[in-house]
Amino acid sequence: MNQDTICAISTAQGGAIGCIRLSGTEAIRMVESIFTPATPSKKLSEQKPYTLTFGQIKDGEEVIDEVLVSLFKGPHSYTGEDSVEISCHGSAYILQQVMQLLIRNGCRLAQPGEYTQRAFLNGKMDLSQAEAVADLIASSSAATHRLAMSQMRGGFSKELTTLREQLLHFTSLIELELDFSEEDVEFANRDQLMQLATHIREVITRLVDSFSVGNAIKNGVPVAIIGETNAGKSTLLNVLLNEDRAIVSDIHGTTRDVIEDTTNLGGITFRFIDTAGIRETSDTIESLGIERTFQKLDQAEIVLWMIDASDALKQIEQLSSQIIPRCADKRLILVLNKADLISEGQQKELEEKLNGLTTKDIHHLFISARHKQHTDALQQLLISAAQLPTVTQNDVIVTNVRHYEALKHSLESIERVQEGLSTGISGDFLSQDIRECIFHLSDIVGEVTNDMVLQNIFHHFCIGK
């Protein structure tokens, strides 16, 4: 357990109430040295845990503020240590005065994520649950909130623990066989081990496959807006984001780099990517932007391929030979912009040509981004194309890249176990592969994680959590 005591402001600036949190062996004594209870007999160190005490914070005889002090005694606290929370008025001056008093009395300013890191080190939660705390704070939609709550409550950890315990049982039996190698005995039934390996491979595969959904829920479904120059891509981005995020101009090649931003449509976060217009150019900077356009096309799950409806016949001819094959593994929506500039007859002619090219998996829509005509219908198409499942707090979906990488390594290990069982490989090699699988599963919950990984994880937390 840590010996020093830390403090930090745990609330954002601007609120009516501010909270200062302390944690450590001297937390109660340090607050007691600057806190005068309204009832003199109510000495803070003598109060029961989970109680509130009203009083004043003083600097000598000067009253800084009237506050409420919450008391939590270890190990039954968030960090597992003695903890105190001071609720005072939200004035930045008051909060800083109280912080200075605490630091003068020997308290240390907490590092980002240090409270949650102490909770992990003191066994109050495993590493995947600690990471979920940051995800919960950052959650911006109902789906991200549910996923973070599920992970913080240990749904993911429980599933991994079950797999590890089953593997540990078998590897201990195999290693016991190695101790009796001269007697040629078999403690671990190979058929049962194969059944277990098959089951574990199925579970890990499901978790690995869930990452694409989890990543889309957490970071937004990537949508690339692609097309020739001056098709209206930047105008559409501004409409979808409901703000002037990209420069709009009639000059070809205005957008020379990738612009990304997120917005929430129908409870789903979309990450829209406005790209440089595709055309033949000798401009070096614009060429680099076009190169990035194709990189973002490869990364996107949904592609909005924008076509200038007033000059669409040429591009429609290119659809079947170039655009559709390039987007074979994407959800493609053909957006014919500037539909207000063509006649009903021209639109009907374009419709007939498009119907011969597109399928139920490829949608097309006529819009006017400038006049916001049919952009609501486009939003509905995007929501439908996202194909995200309804998420509950009981769902186990991987959203963390570190977890995803560890699961891929564990999947490789368990596949080697299956292969070894099929070929009759010796027990010592089987045991090694099983232990590698256990190692990577344990890495997710922090049982084998080194200090560098911990520092990287908690460095991204906010101060005060």
Write out the binding residues for GTP: 230-235, 249-255, 274-277, 337-340, 368-370
Rounded to the nearest 5°, which phi and psi values hold at 273? Answer: -125, 105
Cα(309)–Cα(326) distance, integer angstroms: 21
Question: Binding site membership for (6S)-5-formyl-5,6,7,8-tetrahydrofolate: which residues?
Answer: 21, 85, 124, 465
Q: Which residues belong to the annotated binding site for K(+)?
A: 230, 249, 251, 254
Measure the CA–CA gap between 119 and 287, rounded to whole angstroms: 50
Q: Is the peptide bond prior to 389 cis by the omega test (within 30 degrees of 0)?
A: no
CA distance 34 to 97: 11
Neighbours of 338 (CB within 10 A): 23
**How far is C-alpha 412 from the geometric centre of its chain's CA atoms?**
24
Backbone torsions φ then ψ of 57, nearest 5 degrees: -95, 125
Strands 268-274 and 259-265: antiparallel
Task: Give the annotated binding-site residues.
Answer: 21, 85, 124, 230-235, 249-255, 274-277, 337-340, 368-370, 465
Quote the CA–CA distance of 3 and 73 in Å, as a whole number.
15
Q: What residues contact 154, with CB distance under 8 A and at least 6 apart?
A: 125, 126, 129
Q: Residue for token digits 């200090």? A: 451
Tokens 């076509």 sit at which residue?
Answer: 307
Number of H helices, E strands in the chain: 17, 13
Please choose, from the candidates 408, 413, 422, 443, the residue with its C-alpha nearest in 3D space to the C-alpha of residue 167.
Answer: 413
How many CB atoms neighbour CB 273 within 10 A? 24
Binding-site positions for Mg(2+): 234, 255
What Rg, from alpha-carbon coordinates, does the chain have? 30
Amino acid (one-letter) located at 47: Q
